[in-house]
Amino acid sequence: MRSAKLVTVGVLAVALAAAGCTKNTGSDNNDDNNNQEAATQSATLAENSDGPAPDVPGAKPGGTVTIYTSGDFEHLDPQQNYVVPSQTVGSNLLYRSLLQYRENGDGKLELVGDLTTNTGEESNGGKTWKFTLKDGLKYEDGTPITANDVAYGIARSFSPDLPNGPHYIQQWLVGSGDYNAKYKGPYDGGAKIPPGVEVPDAKTIVFNFPTPHADAPFAMALPTTTPVPPSKDTKVQYDNRPFSSGPYKIQEYRRGQQMTLVRNTNWDAKTDPIRHQFPEKYVVDFTRTAEQASELLLADGGAAQTGLSFQDLQIPASVYPKVIANADAKKRILTGTTQFVWMFDFNLQRMKDINVRKAFNYALDREGLLKVWGSYSGDPATTILSPTTSGYEQYNQYDGGKNGDPAKAKELLGNKRVPLTYAYRNTERNQAVAAFLRSSMKEAGFDLTIQPVDEDQYYTVLGAKDNQFDVYMQGWGSDWPGGAAIIPPLFDGRAITPTGNQNITYLNDDQVNKEMDEILALSDLTEASKRWAKLDKDMMTRIVPIAPAIYDKQTTMYGSKIGGIYLSAPYGNSGLNNLFVK
């Protein structure tokens, strides 16, 4: 998942490495907000997926919550939704999937049936998974949600017209990274049910994979499995008005400005084990910078009293000292380690010299970068896998010290100057990062041309195979904290297509591909975790597809009248399921 659970077939207890979370109280918190470490947690596949969701102490209905986020959502279409702010709003408020996570910020996670009666029935050695829908599920217009609609949602995710979003289920169903080579979705006469999927009746959907997938329940929690009624499908325009199956629906959506969500009166709390419907409405404000949003929340007046900032609007360095100096505001910081790693991706189609890639790693001034980023918002990263990942092993293959080693970089470059084009997301924070990178890399011999890309087009542009950039920064968080949710989506070269790529280094290495296949086939997931860590180091030694930069920490704010807030482990962002206005 972009800025981003191990299960054994037949066993409910799961060892899950995930983000360290703050408590879900919405009340004062005098803990030091800067010293949270990555933590391992335990999770279970829930035995009971019934609704309603657990009570939230002190919660009451009414009021308006304002969410500050930078720029419009790249995609709100569930089958294309794979960036944290949009996925949080989509999966918490607008629509439901086959499975989902139940959490309340106390560090305990359960995977529960969201639309389904349980977390799935496995057979055929893990190749077949059956899910049964609950009674009483309805869309915003009162029509019933059916298994056919779930199948249709998955079918449309195969379309080359909708190339973004998670690709696990599509690839697993056809047994190939090139998942739409033969089946291209339901448009232009294609079947409304994808290959490998059966719909015996309106309440039953069955997945038949060519190979076992023990972690299938976790993939079913992604918005890929969101139901879409064919009559409401507007194809590429579905981003503008997804049809609600969740507790809220879109009242108004002015792209680039504001989105207003109001209660969906046909949502039934008795069917939903994770969501509530406390606020009367949500207003998503796309127009604020990180500094503006943080200043508003610091002042704590007007709409900001019932507002919060999202992951992409971390408290900036210009405001943070004022926040921690204010006793009341300091209590309203939401912080904790997340599963995201921020990295500089090398476009291997263009940066073909491994010594250039090694030199970039040696030259990177991670301590200086963190000062620009916000030293309270991360730690220096040197690995592909996050410390929250099961089996993670720390190493530093290109140790340039805290501030980089320009001399070593120059040596690798043969004292030649290397021009690079760096693309950055056009936000306040990333403008500063781009300027810092251009300045700090000069001494090592790199001449960076920096080029902004619109916030709501960033990953779409970089996901085009023919993009004309050499280096770019991305944040990746695992969809479940095992290497299978990190290395294959980021580096499987067989999945590269003209557009919609998650592998934006464009690495296609036979040895890496072979090792991934072997690890994914292992039934011993403890052994698999060890081998993902070994592959991490091998890739950074033999290929160097990225320069790891920052292990992420969430550091955002919320208003004094917000209750029920917590840091969501699956999303690495402010959870919305329990929010209420005090």
- Domains, the chain, ordered by start: 336-553 (3.10.105.10)
The number of residues in the chain equals 582
Q: What is the pLDDT of residue 24?
A: 32
pLDDT for 123-157, tens place per residue?
A: 999 999 999 999 999 999 999 999 999 999 999 99
Q: What is the pLDDT of residue 27?
A: 36
CA distance 71 to 25: 29
Q: What is the pLDDT of residue 571?
A: 86
Q: What is the pLDDT of residue 107?
A: 62
Q: What is the pLDDT of residue 19?
A: 32
Q: What is the pLDDT of residue 3?
A: 61
In sequence order, the 6+-apart residues with CB closer than 8 A to the CB of 512 are 491, 492, 493, 535, 539, 543
User: The whole model's pTM is what?
Assistant: 0.84
Q: What is the pLDDT of residue 177?
A: 87
In sequence order, the 6+-apart residues with CB closer than 8 A to the CB of 429 are 290, 314, 316, 373, 374
CA distance 215 to 9: 8
CA distance 470 to 352: 10
Residue ranges in the chain modelled with pLDDT below 50: 4-36, 40-42
3-state secondary structure of 345: strand
CB 89 within 8 A of CB 284: yes
DSSP label of 254: E
